[in-house]
Amino acid sequence: MLQVTDIRENKEKYIQALAKRGIDATSTLEEVLTYDEERRATQAQLDDVLAQSNSYSKEIGKLFQSGEVQKANELKAKTVALKESSKQLNEKMLIAAEKLQELLFTLPNIPNDLVPAGTDENDNEEIFKEGEVPTLHEGALPHWELAKKYDLIDFELGVKVTGAGFPVYKGKGARLQRALITYFLDKNTKAGYTEYQVPLLVNEASGYGTGQLPDKEGQMYHVGVDDLYLIPTSEVPITNLFRGDLLNNSDLPITCTSYTPCFRREAGSYGAHVRGLNRLHQFDKVELVRVEHPDNSYKALDGMVEHVQDILRELKLPYRILRLCGGDLGFTSALTYDFEVFSTAQDRWLEISSVSNFETFQANRLKLRFKDSDGKNKLVHTLNGSSLALPRVLAGILENYQTADGIRIPEVLVPYCGFDMID
């Protein structure tokens, strides 16, 4: 959530920055400032009324003590009127504050200066590419056909039990999935991240805290009876562990990793590009979350990018890194790098990780602050990244490592799998 004080001081800057996202925020920001002015003016009036009421109360006590009962009763009558006035002013202030909050919730984060202009994924900027795309044998198959051929994943059984987008992993497919999860967690914990196991359901406050609500309400599975949401990523519960905290400078950075299943409705997704593991309603993901001092957050972002690169180098998968343009940037993000693995059998790039800096956007919603060395309470910066999302990594391994005799296992995963070939 954007900070009203910053909008008040830099309205034109905010208008220009949000234009990079393709948003004309002029009228919304003006409305924000109108409600903010009304809230502050009403608060000033309320403070005056309360101060006058307190002054009268003290005076009434003195008058009763001195026996001036008539004057005391006259002031008491005035305090009754002041109480009614304060009640009305308080209601007016709360309404203005509520409308202000609603407007702020609709505004996305301000893009970092590095974010390129653009309207959609076609305008994202490729900044790095590495790895050799393998030449596959004649008759090479896409991963959904490989999964069926080697009995690794049963998409039809998932439809039978739940519906489309809920696959069932079997045999070596399940073991490879488990191996990837353990490998990712081991890499993360060795890099200094603390492992967490977190709830898969969160309350509404958690959804608002990290920015999934109200922006992505239609993409989240909602348990109506209990008013809880299935998590779209473990970023939500992990980051909310620190909601409302006032940290010490020495507490930073906080580095967390977690494996969870993730749930997304993916409403409106259809076509050939969502076949197999390309897009699911339930999928596994290992996540990184960092809580950082603002001065260090972009150095931390670079470190997260290097960490994901190291994983992909060990898996020996061809990949590229994109800097997302304003039109493709997530609602909460100030700067995002997407990692994509090349799917040789599909002849297309598959997104497998997003690494983002949210700056103070989430922290402002979470009221997550730290006491800086100057003694002032300030908002932290929060960051997160996939390390990694499993479905498309698995798809990339199945397709890029296939041979005429079977599917080889990346060398780094063999100790985790207990086998080096799927045949």
CA gap 238, 366 in Å, rounded: 12
354 is in an annotated binding site: yes
74 is in an annotated binding site: no
235 is in an annotated binding site: no
109 is in an annotated binding site: no
CA gap 241, 234 in Å, rounded: 11
3-state secondary structure of 5: helix
Phi, psi (deg, nearest 5) at residue 233: -170, 150
278 is in an annotated binding site: no
Residues near 343 by beta carbon (within 8 Å), at least 6 away in sequence? 142, 143, 349, 350, 392, 395, 396, 399, 400
Of 323, 320, 383, the closest CA to residue 352 belongs to 320
266 is in an annotated binding site: yes
353 is in an annotated binding site: yes
Dihedral, 423, 284, 260, 321 alpha carbons, nearest 10? 110
For the beta carbon of residue 336, count every other beta carbon within 10 angstroms: 24
351 is in an annotated binding site: yes
40 is in an annotated binding site: no
Vertex 370 angle, CA 303 and 228, to 5°? 80
Say if residue 105 is exposed, middle or buried (CB neighbours under 10 Å; 0-12, 13-18, 19+).
middle
CA gap 110, 302 in Å, rounded: 19
Give the annotated binding-site residues. Answer: 233, 264-266, 287, 351-354, 384
Give the annotated binding-site residues for ATP. Answer: 264-266, 351-354
Give the annotated binding-site residues for L-serine. Answer: 233, 264, 287, 384
